[in-house]
Amino acid sequence: MIKLLVGLGNPGQQYEKTRHNAGFLFLDHLMDSKGGGWSVSQQFQGQVANISVAGMRLDMLKPMTFMNKSGLSVGKMLRYYKLKPEELLVVHDELELPEGVVKMKRDGGHAGHNGLRDIIAHIDTRDFFRLRIGIGRPAMGANVADYVLSKPSAQGFSLLDAAFSLLEGHIESLAAADISMINDRLAR
């Protein structure tokens, strides 16, 4: 069972709606649909909230440490609540998936994603769940950093929003870490 849902992104208005902030965008979508709000936590160096899923509390975290230092915030929250890494689901952008395609997995490397790299370093394991939100790849020869830190097109936003709505409809399966259901129903 997932007890901590972490969305990865960068704080600040200039990053607000960028591809790299797909994790923040999904958690914000959930909070908007549930009518909740975020609280600033100095202790966890992030914004925190919680929702109820099937009668269980699901804590949520948006690290405000910038992407490359996400592990600091995540590690503090895991230790404070005495959570196991397998109770963690990290939502992040994924270049290797087309825009709006969602896949869930457990374990694995960081595949060059600096947010995942820092989390692995801080919690000393790769054994946690990941929800990969497809943002597509930039055109051949384009700068990857510029691409991930830019805003998607209107169609790209529409694809992300549709994926977020589908995920919201399957939040119980997500919280139960039902990888096959999420991948079978949501991978297009």
DSSP state of 68: G
Within 10 angstroms of residue 72's Cβ, the number of other Cβ atoms is 18
Please state, in angstroms and rounded to a whole number, the distance separating the CA atoms of residues 187 and 38: 29
Domain ranges within the chain, ordered by starting residue = 4-186
List, by residue number, the catalytic residues: 20
CB 61 within 8 Å of CB 7: yes
Please state, in angstroms and rounded to a whole number, the distance separating the CA atoms of residues 104 and 174: 9
CATH of 4-186, one of 3.10.310.40, 3.40.50.1470, 3.30.465.10, 2.40.30.10: 3.40.50.1470
The 10s digit of each residue's pLDDT in 127-146 is: 999 999 999 999 898 999 99
Q: Of how many residues is the chain composed?
A: 188
The pTM of the whole model exceeds 0.85? yes
Tens place of pLDDT per residue across the chain (188 aa): 999 999 999 999 999 999 999 999 999 999 999 888 999 999 999 999 999 999 999 999 999 999 999 999 999 999 999 999 999 999 999 999 999 999 999 988 887 789 999 999 999 999 999 999 999 999 898 999 999 999 999 999 999 999 999 999 999 999 999 998 888 877 65
